[in-house]
């Protein structure tokens, strides 16, 4: 893990405009007891949004833990939530991209767990959007089976409202993708998707929108849509990325507002995750 941390520090120094994308004053992380339950939420009725039950076996198989406060691993995502929300609120950002240098780093796992953790805040709603149009995984990780998804929205067959689902959790809605999308890069860079991102961002003032994006290396999908999204979190799989991979990923991000890094699958870190802010 020390090698990866060193690579991150080296890449940050070489990043154009490093240090300008977030505040430079380090804050102490707020402590969370993780005891929030559904009865503490303000009631939200989903009259038009389809309500579905998640597949418990799929959740367990894919390390989706944040919905379950009795699971000690959920604390990692509550801590990540605190860091992310603080920086986003300081900058008045409401859209967050999550990506990784390479596939299988766990970006979708982080995206889902972070969205679930944020949804447990009493004054915060969150939407999770699967924007990995080549290899969509959110539906599979949650064990969902839907007839209408983002596919139909992009094909002008249905509205966004038709495609949204609520996983029987207060304050959380999901916009899934049920099948790979042809010409994914061109679609993500289109005016249609830019308009969609703006609409999702501005429709509700208390909503955080998380976009699960494709890996940033070897594809231009993420680069095509990133300018429309306020900030980005980079997930790095421990032992998966070389120094060069991390450096190139940060260089590709360019002027994007990089919140920080999540070191996933880290044996040395408590609960399997290590978070570092981009300071």
pLDDT digits (tens, 9 = 90+) for 210-226: 999 999 998 899 999 99
Mean pLDDT of 101-113: 94
Distance CA 246, CA 243 (A): 5
Q: Band the pLDDT of 28: cuts 50, 70, 90.
A: very low
Mean pLDDT calculated for residue range 152-173: 94
Helix, strand or coil, per DSSP, at residue 223: helix
pLDDT at 40: 38
- Residues 228, 189: Cα–Cα separation, whole Å: 9
Average pLDDT over residues 232-252: 90
Rounded average pLDDT over 85-109? 95
Does residue 213 lie within any of the structural domains? yes
- C-beta pairs of 160-166 under 8 Å, 24+ apart in sequence: 160/196, 160/199, 160/200, 161/48, 161/49, 164/49, 164/50, 164/127, 165/49, 165/50, 165/51, 165/52, 166/46, 166/49, 166/50, 166/51, 166/52
Helix, strand, coil percentages, rounded to 5, for the chain: 40, 15, 45
| 180 part of a folded domain | yes
Q: Is residue 237 part of a domain?
A: yes
Q: Is residue 28 part of a domain?
A: no
Q: For residue 199, how many other CB atoms are within 10 A of its CB?
A: 10
Specify the CATH number for the domain of residue 58.
3.40.50.300
Mean pLDDT across the chain, nearest whole number?
Answer: 82
Choose among 207, 208, 254: nearest CA to 96: 208
Binned at pLDDT 50, 70 and 90, residue 123 comes out as confident
CA-angle at 209, arms to 81 and 207, nearest 5°: 85
| 81-107 mean pLDDT | 95
In a domain, 33, yes or no: no
Per-residue confidence (pLDDT) for residue 238, from 0 to 100: 81
Structural domain boundaries enclosing 197: 2-17+42-277
185 pLDDT band (50/70/90 cuts)? very high
Per the structure, the count of domains in the chain is 1
Predicted local confidence at residue 71, as pLDDT: 81
Residue 13 within any structural domain of the chain: yes
Find the range with the poorest average confidence among 48-52, 86-90, 138-142, 181-185: 48-52
- The reported pLDDT for the residue numbered 67 is 86
Cβ–Cβ < 8 Å for 201, 238: no
pLDDT score recorded for residue 74: 86
Whether residue 36 is contained in a domain is answered as no
- Please report the pLDDT score of residue 6 as a whole number: 56
236 pLDDT more than 60: yes
Residue 151's contacts (CB-CB under 8 Å, 6 or more residues apart) are: 177, 178, 179, 181
> DSSP string spanning 87-152?
HHHHTT--EEEEE-SSTTSSHHHHHHHHHHHHHTSTT-EEEEEE---SS--HHHHHT---SS-HHH
Whole-number percent of the chain with pLDDT over 90: 59
pTM: predicted TM-score of the whole model, two decimal places: 0.82
**Residue 226 within any structural domain of the chain:** yes
For the chain, first and last CA: distance in Å? 19
Can you give the three-state secondary structure of 152-210, one letter per residue? Answer: HHHCCCCCHHHHCEECCCCCEEEECCCCCCCCHHHHHCCHHHHHHHHHHHHCCCCEEEE
pLDDT at 22 exceeding the cut of 90? no
The whole-angstrom separation of Cα 146 and Cα 129 is: 15
Q: Report the pLDDT value the prediction gives residue 9, as an integer from 0 to 100.
A: 61
Q: Per-residue pLDDT for 270 more than 80?
A: no
Which residue, among 95, 44, 72, 117, has the nearest Cα to 199 in the 3D structure? 95
Class of residue 206 by CB neighbours under 10 A (exposed 0-12, middle 13-18, buried 19+): exposed
pLDDT of residue 77: 93
Question: What mean pLDDT is predicted for residues 40-44?
Answer: 47
Out of 55-69, 233-247, 264-278, which region has the weakest mean confidence (pLDDT)?
264-278
């Amino acid at each position: 893990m020390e090698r990866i941390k060193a690579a991150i520090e080296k890449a940050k120094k070489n990043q154009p405009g490093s240090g300008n994308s977030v505040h430079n004053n380090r804050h102490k992380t707020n402590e969370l007891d993780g005891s929030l339950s559904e009865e503490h939420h303000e009631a939200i009725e989903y009259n038009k949004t389809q309500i579905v039950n998640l597949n418990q076996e799929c959740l367990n198989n894919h390390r989706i833990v944040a919905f379950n406060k009795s699971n000690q691993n959920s604390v990692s995502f509550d801590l990540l939530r605190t860091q992310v929300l603080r920086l986003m609120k300081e900058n008045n950002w409401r859209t967050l991209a999550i990506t990784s240098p390479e596939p299988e780093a766990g970006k979708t796992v982080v995206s889902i767990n972070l969205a679930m953790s944020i949804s447990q805040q009493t004054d915060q709603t969150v939407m999770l959007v699967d924007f990995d149009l080549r290899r969509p995984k959110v539906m599979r990780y949650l064990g969902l089976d839907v007839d209408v998804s983002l596919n139909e929205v992009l094909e002008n067959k249905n509205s966004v409202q038709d495609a949204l689902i609520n996983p029987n959790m207060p304050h959380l809605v999901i916009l899934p993708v049920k099948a790979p999308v042809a010409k994914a890069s061109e679609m993500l860079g289109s005016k249609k998707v830019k308009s969609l991102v703006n609409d999702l961002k501005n429709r509700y003032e208390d909503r955080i929108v998380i976009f699960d994006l494709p890996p940033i290396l070897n594809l231009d999908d993420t680069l095509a849509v990133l300018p429309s999204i306020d900030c980005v979190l980079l997930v790095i799989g421990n032992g998966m990325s070389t120094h060069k991979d991390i450096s190139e990923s940060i260089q590709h991000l360019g002027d994007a507002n990089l919140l920080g890094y999540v070191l996933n699958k880290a044996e040395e870190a408590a609960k399997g995750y290590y978070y570092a802010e981009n300071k």
